[in-house]
């Protein structure tokens, strides 16, 4: 299903929920998602869409531009964030059967080594796969040291630490089971931000909510947490792959 606004055709996904009391409109990736009650007439949905055409149009244009930028991202001379710093991408083609990523931390070079025979339309898929693997391994390595350190310092026990390619959250916690989950992209952040995220999630074991006591506990160990939290919000787009 497509919604035509001016020169754009926007894909739509309509979801009906019996618990919905209103119409919600938002983009999930590049699809305009609409959630509503199954009893709500289509005419009312059309009315809301019509009244939000300009906003929908501008947001979709931004999404298309971002997709275009991402498609051309992995080229020599472009940048990627690693440990809070900009690394310059350098692509090299060699006689080999796999994609390899090598970091030159002193020169701040992010070297992507590709097979000579690789098809251009396959490059992005294999590059992202190799980078995700590297980031997951390096994030796990840093958490292996930092989580036990902060657990001991805060005197808060945890059950397990899991790392996955989370795009929308830096971390999460299941207070009942004391399980901690972290994004494999933490390695893209500066070290003090990683510390703040770990302290944040450990604090949720004590305070499952975001109460004043919760933030007091965080700031006991991370006094500049508000500044770091601002940094994390401002840089959320920089850790996209």
Rg of the chain (C-alpha set)? 22
Q: What pLDDT, on a 0 to 100 scale, did the predictor assign at position 28?
A: 86
Q: What pLDDT, on a 0 to 100 scale, did the predictor assign at position 72?
A: 58
Contact between residue 118 and residue 126 where contact means Cβ atoms under 8 Å apart: yes
| Residue pointed to by tokens 């490059």 | 123
Q: What pLDDT, on a 0 to 100 scale, did the predictor assign at position 155?
A: 98
Could you write out the three-class secondary structure of the chain?
CEEEECCEEEEEEEEECCCCCCCEEEEECCEEEEEECCCCCHHHHHHHHHHCHHHHHHHHHHHHHHHHHHHCCCCCCCEEEECCEEEEEEEEEECCCCCEEEEECCCCEEEEEEECCCCHHHHHHHHHHHHHHHHHHHHHHHHHHHHHHHHHHHCCCCCEEEEECCCCCCEEEECCCCEEEEEHHHHHCCHHHHHHHHHHHHHHHHCCCCCHHHHHHHHHHCCCHHHHHHHHHHCHHHHCC
Q: Using N-to-C axis directions, what is the helix angle for 225-234 and 191-206, rounded to 10°?
A: 110
Residues sharing a CB contact under 8 Å with residue 87, sequence separation 6 or more, in sequence order: 79, 80, 81, 103, 108, 109, 110
Structural domains of the chain, ranges and CATH numbers in brackets: 2-71 (no CATH), 79-131 (no CATH), 136-239 (3.30.2010.10)
Residue from 35, 31, 37, 27 nearest 12 by CA = 31
Q: What pLDDT, on a 0 to 100 scale, did the predictor assign at position 163?
A: 97
Q: What pLDDT, on a 0 to 100 scale, did the predictor assign at position 67?
A: 73
Contact between residue 100 and residue 110 where contact means Cβ atoms under 8 Å apart: no
Distance CA 83, CA 90 (A): 18
Contact between residue 14 and residue 45 where contact means Cβ atoms under 8 Å apart: yes
Neighbours of 37 (CB within 10 A): 15
Q: What pLDDT, on a 0 to 100 scale, did the predictor assign at position 147?
A: 98
Enter the pTM of the model: 0.73
List, run by run, the mean pLDDT of 10-residue segments along the chain (241 residues): 89 90 88 92 90 92 77 80 94 91 94 91 88 95 98 98 89 96 95 97 96 97 96 80 70
Q: What pLDDT, on a 0 to 100 scale, did the predictor assign at position 18?
A: 87
């Amino acid at each position: 299903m497509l919604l035509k606004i001016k020169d754009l055709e926007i894909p739509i996904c309509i979801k009906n929920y019996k618990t919905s009391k209103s119409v919600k409109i938002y983009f999930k990736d590049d699809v305009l998602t609409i959630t509503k009650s199954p009893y709500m007439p289509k005419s009312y949905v059309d009315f809301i869409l019509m009244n939000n055409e300009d906003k929908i149009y501008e947001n979709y244009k931004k999404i298309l531009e971002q997709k275009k930028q991402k498609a051309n991202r992995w080229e020599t001379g472009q940048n990627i964030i690693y440990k809070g710093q900009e690394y310059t991408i350098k692509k090299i083609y060699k006689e080999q059967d796999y994609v390899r990523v090598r970091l030159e931390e002193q020169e701040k070079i992010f070297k992507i080594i590709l097979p000579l025979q690789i098809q251009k339309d396959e490059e992005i898929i294999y590059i992202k796969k190799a980078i995700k693997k590297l980031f997951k391994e390096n994030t796990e390595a840093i958490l292996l040291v930092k989580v036990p350190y902060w657990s001991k310092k805060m005197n808060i026990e945890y059950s397990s630490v899991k790392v996955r390619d989370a795009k929308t959250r830096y971390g999460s916690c299941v207070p009942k089971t004391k399980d901690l989950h972290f994004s494999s992209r933490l390695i893209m952040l500066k070290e003090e931000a990683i510390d703040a995220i770990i302290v944040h999630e450990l604090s949720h074991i004590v305070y499952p909510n975001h109460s004043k006591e919760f933030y007091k506990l965080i700031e006991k160990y991370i006094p500049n947490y508000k500044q770091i939290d601002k940094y994390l919000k401002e840089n959320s787009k920089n850790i996209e792959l």
